[in-house]
């Protein structure tokens, strides 16, 4: 009997934590009316400037972009009452691609995917080389499974 009570309490605790960390995707209607800020005409310069301070050897960086910026969102973490975590969408202009640069050994580490969110001419969120961020329910975790790093 005591084992069932413990199991029930554990299950309740896990469901509470998981339920508090879930983020729902914005609907197409919400994304259409979201304030993403002005379109970043110099988006390539903004992305390269951001990774300039992140990469070990930024002079060697070779970028491949998936296309021009598009309206998008990323999870924005926070905490509410009693320390329960939540995530809300942060809107902006999303740029995806890959960057390959030399590591500390002096060899190219291989192209690593990245996604950044630009708002008002600045990168406000980034997922990718050297700057992994928790995004609840996202498949964007675990970029460096191979163990090689650009930093």
Read off the pLDDT of each residue in 39-56 and give the average, rounded to a whole number.
92
- Whether the pLDDT of residue 148 is over 80: the answer is no
Least confident of 11-20, 49-58, 82-91, 123-132: 11-20
Residue-wise pLDDT tens digits, 34-44 = 888 999 999 99
**DSSP string of 66-114, one letter each residue:** SSS-EEEEEEEEEE-GGG-EEEEEEEEEEEEEEEEEE-TTSSB---EEE
Q: How far apart are CA 22 and CA 5, in angstroms?
A: 26
More confident residue, 12 or 74: 74
Residue-wise pLDDT tens digits, 121-133 = 999 988 876 543 3
């Amino acid at each position: 009997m005591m084992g069932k009570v413990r199991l029930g309490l554990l299950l309740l605790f896990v469901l509470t934590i998981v339920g508090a960390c879930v983020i729902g995707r914005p609907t197409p209607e919400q994304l259409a009316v979201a304030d993403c800020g002005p379109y970043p005409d110099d988006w390539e310069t903004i992305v390269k400037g951001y990774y300039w301070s992140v990469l070990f050897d930024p002079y060697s960086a070779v970028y491949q972009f998936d296309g021009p910026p598009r309206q998008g969102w990323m999870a924005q973490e926070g905490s509410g009452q009693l320390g329960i975590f939540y995530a809300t969408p942060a809107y902006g202009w999303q740029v995806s691609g890959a960057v390959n640069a030399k590591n500390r050994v002096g060899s190219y580490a291989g192209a690593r995917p990245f996604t950044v969110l630009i708002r008002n001419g600045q990168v406000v969120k980034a997922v990718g080389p050297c700057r992994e961020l928790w995004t609840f329910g996202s498949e964007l975790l675990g970029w460096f499974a191979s163990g090689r790093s650009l930093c």
